[in-house]
């Protein structure tokens, strides 16, 4: 969004220092001018903020339709920094070794403490962030995606704007037969933050949760999934204004279009369950 030029330059420098073949870089100005970047970096400036998934979709297509000019795309938040110089090589090795691997989720660590927040480990059993594993979703600002995933499952859901767009793509990718890995050795440094810092957080989290279920789940699971999340939200005892925004978003999720409905196969439900996260939570 153009407000972190120093952090963006540091991120670009960390990508340029990666071992192996040079990584081509694209920067999307999401409703803002792009700060000065090194020569050779592709840039585009959008007249309005399309949100996180909309902006990333533009970035994907800067490498051809569905990113087909390249085999792998990295998505890195502009206030992040690759901690090591071998991350790109580790990605190449991972995708080469496993032809079913579609998405890799990096470990996010605080640059000062080295700690990883529990919410940044994309599985229910998140107490050990140093354990790599197969998972059912991924972190949007620190990941690598095989571009064939976009050809098979489609791009990110642009209408989501913010929240749950990664899980929507992850479920579609898993339904298409791809696997997702969380890799603790692929690290993006990122300052510790709270997701609720965004003003739209509570409304969009609730709205997009409903859209996610309506778009992707078999009908019998939709009320179960949303009922569980309603209960969990109440148990977390949010403030009055936050709860009001959450219920407003929950209602909006039912009264507005969720986009095309393509429910996952029941065998995908079983795959998610075997991976430790049945699609009811």
- Token pair for 239: 């403030």
Over its length of 281 residues, how does the chain's per-residue pLDDT go in tens digits?
Answer: 889 999 999 999 999 999 999 999 999 999 999 999 999 999 999 999 999 999 999 999 999 999 999 999 999 999 999 999 999 999 999 999 999 999 999 999 999 999 999 999 999 999 999 999 999 999 999 999 999 999 999 999 999 999 999 999 999 999 999 999 999 999 999 998 777 555 589 999 999 999 999 999 999 999 999 999 999 999 999 999 999 999 999 999 999 999 999 999 999 999 999 999 999 98
pLDDT in tens, 42-86: 999 999 999 999 999 999 999 999 999 999 999 999 999 999 999
Domain 5-193 = CATH 3.90.550.10: yes
């Amino acid at each position: 969004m153009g407000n972190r030029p120093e952090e963006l330059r540091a991120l670009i420098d960390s990508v340029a220092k990666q071992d192996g073949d040079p990584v081509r870089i694209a920067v999307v100005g999401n409703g803002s001018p792009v700060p000065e970047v090194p020569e050779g970096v592709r840039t585009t400036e959008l007249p309005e903020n399309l949100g996180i998934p909309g902006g990333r979709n533009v970035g994907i297509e800067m490498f051809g339709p569905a990113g087909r000019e390249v085999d792998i795309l990295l998505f890195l938040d502009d206030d992040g920094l690759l901690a090591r110089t071998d991350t790109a090589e580790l990605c190449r090795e991972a995708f080469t070794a496993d032809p079913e691997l579609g998405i890799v989720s990096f470990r996010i660590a605080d640059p000062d403490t080295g700690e990883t927040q529990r919410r940044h480990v994309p599985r229910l059993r998140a107490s050990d962030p140093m354990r790599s594993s197969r998972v059912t979703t991924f972190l949007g600002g620190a990941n690598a995606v095989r571009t064939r995933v976009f050809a098979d499952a489609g791009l990110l859901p642009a209408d989501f704007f913010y929240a749950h767009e990664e899980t929507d793509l992850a479920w579609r990718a898993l339904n298409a037969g791809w696997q997702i890995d969380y890799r603790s050795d692929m690290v993006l440094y990122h300052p510790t933050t709270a997701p609720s810092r965004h003003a739209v957080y509570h409304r969009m989290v609730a709205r997009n949760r409903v859209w996610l279920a309506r778009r992707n789940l078999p009908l019998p699971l939709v009320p179960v999934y949303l009922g569980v999340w309603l209960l969990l939200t109440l148990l977390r005892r949010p403030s009055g204004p936050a709860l009001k925004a959450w219920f407003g978003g929950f209602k909006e999720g039912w009264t507005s279009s969720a986009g095309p409905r393509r429910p996952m196969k029941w065998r995908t439900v079983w795959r998610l369950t075997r991976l430790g996260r049945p699609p009811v939570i």
